[in-house]
Amino acid sequence: METEQSLGGGGDLFAVAVPLCCLCVDCQGRMDSPGPPSERTPDTEKDGMPVSNTFGLKRFPQAIIIGVKKGGTRALLEFLRIHPDVRAVGAEPHFFDRFYDKGLEWYRNLMPRTLDGQVTMEKTPSYFVTKEAPGRICTMNCQTKLIVVVRDPVTRAVSDYTQTLSKNPGLPSFQSLALKNSSTGLIDTTWSAVRIGLYAKHLENWLQYFPLSHFLFVSGERLVSDPAGEMGRVQDFLGLKRVVSNKHFYFNQTKGFPCLKKPEGSSRPRCLGKSKGRPHPQIPTEVLQRLRDFYKPFNHRFYQLSGQDFGWD
């Protein structure tokens, strides 16, 4: 019987390829710079063949998965890594929200090396809700392509809570965190699990720096129900040949989401780690309904801004 191998959040360097975006003038020098002498590819020969730049250059990402937490960003990145022309950082760099003071050269040196015609990517879901992130990314390169994986904000909030609860079993109940008080039923927007789901508010901030054409909004629900279809849209957006298709997926009934079929030469299929697909706690129906009513106008505003109706209402 085949077993499943966890992908988790490992540090492997992946691979994306897309025609490289136009670079802003003040970034071009950095983008193509070979970096400090200690990081340059040695100009040596092997068996009489020159191997200078064999491993390419470290470049700023031309595409970033900027959000959202618990929307399906890890699944998207794992599906993308199947593509032979994709290269991505394994861990979330958190440069534009936590480590911006380290500087752009520090950030660039985190990136995998790429050859001409390959695309560098990273994902940090908290960028979408960080007020300073869009301006900082535009300072690096205003032509950056931005991918946002969104999911029904109520389901997303419960998933977010479930993840936190697994790390902190003493956490108060979902309803006590979501509601300011049970008698009024007012939603507490200061709780991050609720605030992240205000997609329209966050997108309005990003649209001050980037045109809508620079965004791709991926449905977290369709990424589960039709992974090949959503991946087709992602590959088109990135300018990639459609390599990732139905042949790469099978649906895992136990976990409740798609897994990658075993690669040739391997005896194991690849599924996301144990933390993915964990059961959600029971939340009172009236609390979930209050949340749905609360999110409804924000959802409709998000549909208008993004040009897509995700059907959450």
The active-site residue out of 69, 70, 123, 145 is 70
- The pLDDT assigned to 39 comes to 36
Q: What does the H/E/C string look like for the chain?
A: CCCCEECCCCCCCCCCCCCCCCCCHHHHHHHCCCCCHHHCCCCCEECCEECCCCCCEECCCCEEEEECCCCCHHHHHHHHCCCCCEEECCCCCCCCCCCHHHCHHHHHCCCCEECCCCEEEEECHHHHHCCCHHHHHHHHCCCCEEEEEECCHHHHHHHHHHHHHHHCCCCCCHHHHHECCCCCCCECCCCHHHHCCCHHHHHHHHCCCCCHHHEEEEEHHHHHHCHHHHHHHHHHHHCCCCCCCHHHEEEECCCCEEEECCCCCCCCCEECCCCCCCCCCCCCHHHHHHHHHHHHHHHHHHHHHHCCCCCCC
**Residue 242, annotated as binding a ligand:** no
Q: What domain range is 107 assigned to?
A: 57-153+192-274
Residue 31 lies in a domain: no
Residue 104 lies in a domain: yes
Query: Could you tell me the CATH number of the domain that includes residue 119?
Result: 3.40.50.300
Residue 140 lies in a domain: yes
**Residue 274, annotated as binding a ligand:** no
- The pLDDT assigned to 228 comes to 95
Is 70 a catalytic site residue? yes
Q: Extract the residue ranges of the chain whose pLDDT is less than 50.
A: 1-53
Write the pLDDT tens digit of every residue in 203-256: 999 999 999 999 999 999 999 999 999 999 999 999 999 999 989 998 887 777
pTM: 0.80
Residue 246 lies in a domain: yes
**Residue 73, annotated as binding a ligand:** yes
